[in-house]
C-alpha cells in the first residue's frame, strides 16, 4: 500500500511544476517494481489538489478536466478512500502528536499519517519533508 500526497498528484500533470519529471519517474518505477501495489489517497487530497489547480492555472477549465481524468476517469490508478466519522478523533490525535513549532502539520497531513498507519502502508509519496521521521517517504 502506498499513500499519495497532494504535491505528488498535482505534479503528475503540471508540466511547469518543479517536481513534474520526478513525480512521473516515481510512478513509472512503481509500476515496474510493484505491478499489483495499491495506491490510495483521500478526498481531502482531491480537494486540496483541485484548489491548487484552480489557483495555479487561473481557473483554466481544460486543466480541471485533465485532473478529472486522473481522479475519476481513464487515467486513474489509485483508490480514493473515505474517512468515517469515528476516525476524525484518531486523525486529530496524530495532529496533536506530530505538530510542533518546528513541524507545522496541516489537518490534511494528519489524515495522510492516519491512512499510512491504518493501512500499514509501505510508503507515502510526498515532496514534503515534514513527513520524514514519521513515515517512510518516496520523493
For the chain (length 139 residues), average pLDDT per consecutive 10? 98 97 97 92 98 96 96 97 97 95 94 98 96 95
Which domains, from first to last, does the chain contain?
A: 2-138 (3.40.50.1010)
Q: Give the orientation angle of helix 61-72 with respect to helix 6-13, to 10 degrees.
A: 120
pLDDT of amino acid 35: 83
Q: Are 114 and 90 in contact (CB under 8 A)?
A: yes
pLDDT of amino acid 52: 97
Amino acid at each position: 500500500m502506498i499513500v499519495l500526497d497532494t504535491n505528488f498528484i498535482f505534479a503528475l500533470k503540471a508540466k511547469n511544476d518543479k517536481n513534474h519529471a520526478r513525480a512521473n519517474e516515481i510512478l513509472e518505477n512503481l509500476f515496474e517494481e510493484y505491478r499489483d501495489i495499491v495506491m490510495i489517497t483521500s478526498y481531502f487530497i482531491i480537494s486540496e489538489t483541485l484548489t491548487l489547480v484552480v489557483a495555479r492555472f487561473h481557473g483554466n477549465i481544460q486543466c480541471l478536466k485533465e485532473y478529472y481524468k486522473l481522479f475519476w476517469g481513464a487515467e486513474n490508478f489509485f483508490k480514493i478512500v473515505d474517512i468515517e466519522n469515528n476516525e476524525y478523533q484518531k486523525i486529530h490525535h496524530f495532529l496533536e502528536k506530530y505538530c510542533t513549532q518546528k513541524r507545522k502539520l496541516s489537518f490534511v497531513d494528519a489524515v495522510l499519517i492516519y491512512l499510512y498507519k491504518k493501512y500499514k502502508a509501505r510508503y507515502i509519496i510526498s515532496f514534503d519533508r515534514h513527513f520524514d521521521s514519521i513515515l517512510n517517504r518516496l520523493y
